[in-house]
Amino acid sequence: MVDFFEDSKIEAGSGREDITRLCNKALKAEREVQEFEALLQESKARYRAVIDRELPEAMTEAGLEEFVTTDGYKVVVKDFTGGHISEKNKEPAFNWLRSNNHDDLIRHEIKVQMTPQQGNIAGAILDYLYREFEIMATDTQRVHPQTLSAFVREMIKAGTPVPEDIFGVFIGKVAKITKKD
């Protein structure tokens, strides 16, 4: 592992070489961060492939819903249904929810940037905040991912059609690995 703080102090009287060296050290560290972030993304994708596809397929082929490994890990495969609204599909998804009387899933999220001294006005509405205090706030609409997954699961269970493309519906199995007691 890289010691980012090793020789990072500029000593009195040091010159441009030290600054150049520290600049290069920072750039090297930045490249390492990018490499680690890419590795993390690849590792997450490999993990999801095993948990969401490979293990459930192997367990299904073996006719098992539960398995204990020789080193004491318990693997359980469960049904999983989930959904995700991408930014691209936000408008059609919200329109579908509204037109099918499910607009109660949509939540307004108001974010306000305030100093601690301004905390006593947090309950005021957006126009009032801007007009009276020149505080910029945003009003965004969203459906919480767990709420959406539960909704999709309920709709599918009830046999009610849901536009799978705009809700990014995923139906499958997922493996859960725990250490056996």
pLDDT in tens, 141-162: 788 999 999 999 999 999 999 9
The reply to whether 126 falls in a domain is: no
The reply to whether 40 falls in a domain is: yes
**pTM value?**
0.59
Answer yes or no: are the C-beta atoms of 164 and 86 closer than 8 Å: no
The domain of 151 spans: 16-106+143-179
Specify the pairing of strand 107-112 against strand 170-179: unpaired
The reply to whether 85 falls in a domain is: yes
pLDDT greater than 70 at residue 118 = no
The reply to whether 133 falls in a domain is: no
pLDDT greater than 90 at residue 134 = no
**What is the mean predicted confidence (pLDDT) over 110-118?**
67
Nearest to 142, CA basis, from 84, 81, 82, 99: 84
Q: Where are the extended beta strands (E) located within the chain?
A: 66-68, 73-82, 107-112, 137-142, 170-179
The domain total for the chain is 1
**117 band by pLDDT with thresholds 50, 70 and 90:** low
Q: What is the mean pLDDT of the chain?
A: 85
The reply to whether 8 falls in a domain is: no
Q: How far apart are alpha carbons 138 and 151 in whole angstroms?
A: 26
